[in-house]
Amino acid sequence: MGLRSRAALRANSSRQNIRFHRRSPSRFHACTQQSEYDFVLAEATRRKDEDVLARLREIGAPPHETATRVLAMETLAERYGGVFHKEPNRIWIMVYSILRGLVTPWEIPRLIRANNLSLEAMNEELLGLDLARSVPSVDVPVFFFLGRHDRHAEATLAASYFGALRAPVKRLIWFENSAHNVPFEEPDLFNTTVASTLQSIGIPIILPRLPGENALDSQSSATTCSIGSARFYRNSNCAAQ
């Protein structure tokens, strides 16, 4: 790709960026799409990665109104450490999850398909979501766990929203060695931080026993409860009471 083509990509990105921010500067999903695109474009240009620059031309500048384009951009951002700061061993994650009884082999493709279908169904609504206007305040404690290197859902944008959000208790915790997938990139620190954060507001953590785990093991790991997507590292059915 020649200099003219690269300049055209940058100019197109700049025009789209201006349109996005003029139209609605607080639409988080739309702004994260633009930030992700700009990140990939800058990295591909810096590295002279012609394959990625060509792929960006195929995908086009934001807004990306289909799940196919959103996932394609995620793949490119991941190539430069914007999704996983350090690429995990995915095979080991799957094997560990299966052996621990957290997922069955035939559930994995269903989970991937369900994720894609959900993204397709929600993408249009997400593009129009204005968090600052629709959720300016909440009446429960709020904790943001952000990966310092997240360029898929731009961490600095999330931090800006956190700063404006009104809540009785709120805390932002940065994970310095993570991008978008904190529970998978820093699982031990994530688990202990979740537990200590909940305990700091008076919520004790009670863990169920995993298959093959005796009572002593369960008690000794009482501060390593994981929640949500961290289920691969600890039982997702842990209960806060």
CA atoms of 178 and 182, how far apart (whole Å): 5
CA atoms of 122 and 54, how far apart (whole Å): 28
Give Cα 24 to chain centroid, integer Å: 22
Per-residue tens of pLDDT for the chain, all 241 residues: 554 554 445 545 544 443 444 344 457 778 999 999 999 999 999 999 999 999 999 999 999 999 999 999 999 999 999 999 988 888 888 898 899 888 999 999 999 999 999 999 999 898 888 888 999 999 999 999 999 999 999 999 999 999 999 999 999 999 999 999 999 899 999 999 999 999 999 988 776 555 555 544 444 443 333 333 333 333 333 333 3
CA atoms of 76 and 209, how far apart (whole Å): 39
CA atoms of 195 and 189, how far apart (whole Å): 10
SS3 145: strand
Q: Where are the domains of the chain?
A: 1-135
User: Could you tell me the end-to-end alpha-carbon distance of the chain, in angstroms, rounded to an integer?
Assistant: 58
**For residue 6, what are its two tokens?**
């690269």
Which helix (H) or strand (E) covers residue 47, if one does? helix 28-47
- The 10s digit of each residue's pLDDT in 18-36 is 344 434 445 777 899 999 9
Give CA separation, 55 vs 39, 40, 88, 150, 185, in Å. 14, 11, 24, 21, 27
